[in-house]
Chain A
Amino acid sequence: MSMKFTTREVGGVTIVDLSGKITLGEGGLTLREEIHKLLADGQKKIVLNLADVNYIDSSGLGELVSAYTAVKNAGGELKLLNLTSKVRDLLVITKLVTVFDVKDDEASAVSSFA
């Protein structure tokens, strides 16, 4: 299954609920497009909810990093929410868990933005 997402706003924070796979050609580009669209709309507090992302590969990790840097370079913040064990394992292995602000519940993710 390729990646799907919906976007909603909670307390001034944009939450992108992702599901499916983030892999080469199966969601990575779509995520990139969505992030750029949000930034163009002036939305700079972004949470990627990965609760239903059951698969990610190195290209998908690269897309998360690209999203992080794009938001940061625009003066915003991007955080990750609800990692599945598979995604968390890969973030730990690649030490990307030290780069991202990872939250386990939505309320604290929303309130953590300055």
Chain B
Amino acid sequence: MTLESELSCVDAVEAKAEDLAREAGFDEDTSSQIAMVTREAVINAILHGNKKDPAKQVHVNFELNDEALRIKIADEGAGLDPDSVPDPLAPENILRSSGRGIFLMKAIMDEVHFHQLNPGTEIELTKHRVKKELSA
């Protein structure tokens, strides 16, 4: 999927992520969480990556195989250093009103990887399927 840098585009990506998560066999709560963090990643790409520049797009790629559901979200922005994001659990940050998106992605998905694209950043979200889910 290729999206314009507009927040109105995020609902379609979220719905697609939830559909694929259900197809992968994840339960309702897990599917909802996968969809939610996918939405977070797309919002980050639009707001912080592309900075809502209408000349820039967000690219979303979904991959479902026997082992995992993998979702890649790429922006065309200046790049992101994930290590520069403050720890939202630190006492000095716990009352901040923002900065929990990447933390939630890491908490809910099994793997989160960042790739620098020059220009842009791709975030790769992976949730492994389990045998019970595969046989369902």
Contact = CB atoms under 8 A, between A and B. Distances in A.
A5 B117 CA distance: 43
A3 to B, nearest CB: 15
10 contacts: A57-B104, A59-B43, A62-B96, A62-B98, A65-B96, A86-B32, A89-B33, A90-B104, A93-B104, A95-B94
Q: How many interface residues does chain B have, given as a range? A: 20 to 34
Given A86-B29, A94-B88, A94-B104, A55 B96 contact: no
A45 B40 CA distance: 32
A69 interface: yes
B25 interface: no
A61 B129 CA distance: 28
Interface of B: 7, 29, 32-33, 36, 39-40, 43, 88-89, 94-101, 103-104, 107-108
A17 B99 CA distance: 27
Chain B at the A interface: SS class? helix
Contacts of A82: none
A57 B94 contact: no
A58 interface: yes
Interface in A87-108: 89-90, 93-96, 98-99
Q: How many interface residues does chain A have, given as a range? A: 20 to 34
Interface string A45-85: 00000000001011101110110110000000000000001
Given A85-B29, A86-B32, A94-B88, A99 B104 contact: no
B106 to A, nearest CB: 10
A24 interface: yes
A80 to B, nearest CB: 15
